[in-house]
């Protein structure tokens, strides 16, 4: 996970973020305990707080907690201070591409998920790379820091490999095949 790059986002970054939120919110069962890896400023969990039992945001820098959403900081090992098997849903929206070791993330997500728990994530596809770099570095309408921090753009087959420890993995494209949605069941 990265530090909270979202603090430096542009208006256009926030529009893209809102679209990601709408794409995944219907996949989260009501009254769930949800952990959002790479939560940034906590916008996603706060946007769904009315329909979940509890939200736990995890990032290197976190905002203050409130009644419905708790925030936890992680260190370089990305271990989460939560017991095994206590979480219904783990989300990671536009996070995987920032990770040095995606396998460690999947292992930690599986550790905290209940049996049958859902891991939901979005990540830009390889086709998005030139467009994102153009928008960031040439036009300056999305965060340069965020795009520069991308480690990898994953194909569907690479994602299947990363999530091979999950019992079921569904991968689909959205935003004209520029983004990928992964829904994996523990």
Give 31's Cβ-side CA count (13 Å radius): 0
5 band by pLDDT with thresholds 50, 70 and 90 = low
Whole-number Cα distances in Å, 97 to 4, 81, 167, 174: 14, 23, 22, 16
Higher-pLDDT residue of 79 and 89 is 89
* The Cα angle at residue 153 between residues 152 and 159, in degrees rounded to 5: 100
Average pLDDT over residues 122-138: 96
Average pLDDT over residues 137-158: 94
| Cβ count near 8 (within 10 Å) | 11
Q: What is the pLDDT of residue 70?
A: 93
φ and ψ at 176, to 5 degrees? 55, 40
Round to whole Å and give the CA distance between 186 and 21. 22
Q: What is the pLDDT of residue 30?
A: 96
Average pLDDT over residues 165-172: 96
Which domains does the chain possess?
5-185 (3.40.50.150)
Q: What is the pLDDT of residue 11?
A: 82
110 band by pLDDT with thresholds 50, 70 and 90 = very high
Average pLDDT over residues 109-113: 96
Model confidence, pTM: 0.90
Position 1 pLDDT exceeds 50? no
Average pLDDT over residues 73-82: 79
Mean pLDDT across the chain:
91
Position 132 pLDDT exceeds 50? yes
Question: What is the percentage of the chain residues whose pLDDT exceeds 70?
Answer: 94
Q: What is the pLDDT of residue 3?
A: 42
Position 6 pLDDT exceeds 60? no
109 band by pLDDT with thresholds 50, 70 and 90 = very high
Q: What is the pLDDT of residue 10?
A: 79
């Amino acid at each position: 996970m990265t530090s909270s790059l979202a603090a430096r986002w542009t208006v256009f970054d926030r529009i893209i973020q809102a679209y990601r939120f709408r794409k995944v919110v219907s996949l989260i069962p009501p009254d769930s305990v949800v952990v959002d890896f790479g939560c940034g400023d906590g916008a996603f969990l706060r946007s769904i707080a009315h329909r979940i039992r509890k939200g736990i945001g995890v990032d290197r820098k976190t905002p203050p907690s409130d009644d419905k959403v708790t925030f936890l900081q992680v260190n370089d090992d990305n271990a989460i201070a939560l017991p095994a098997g206590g979480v219904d849903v783990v989300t990671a929206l536009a996070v995987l591409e920032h990770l040095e070791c995606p396998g460690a993330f999947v292992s930690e997500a599986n550790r905290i998920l209940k049996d049958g728990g859902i891991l939901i994530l979005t990540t830009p596809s390889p086709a998005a790379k030139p467009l994102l770099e153009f928008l960031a570095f040439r036009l300056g309408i999305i965060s340069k820091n965020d795009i520069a921090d991308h480690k990898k753009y994953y194909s569907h087959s690479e994602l299947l490999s990363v999530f091979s420890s999950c019992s079921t993995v569904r991968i689909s494209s959205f935003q004209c095949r520029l983004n990928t949605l992964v829904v994996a069941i523990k």
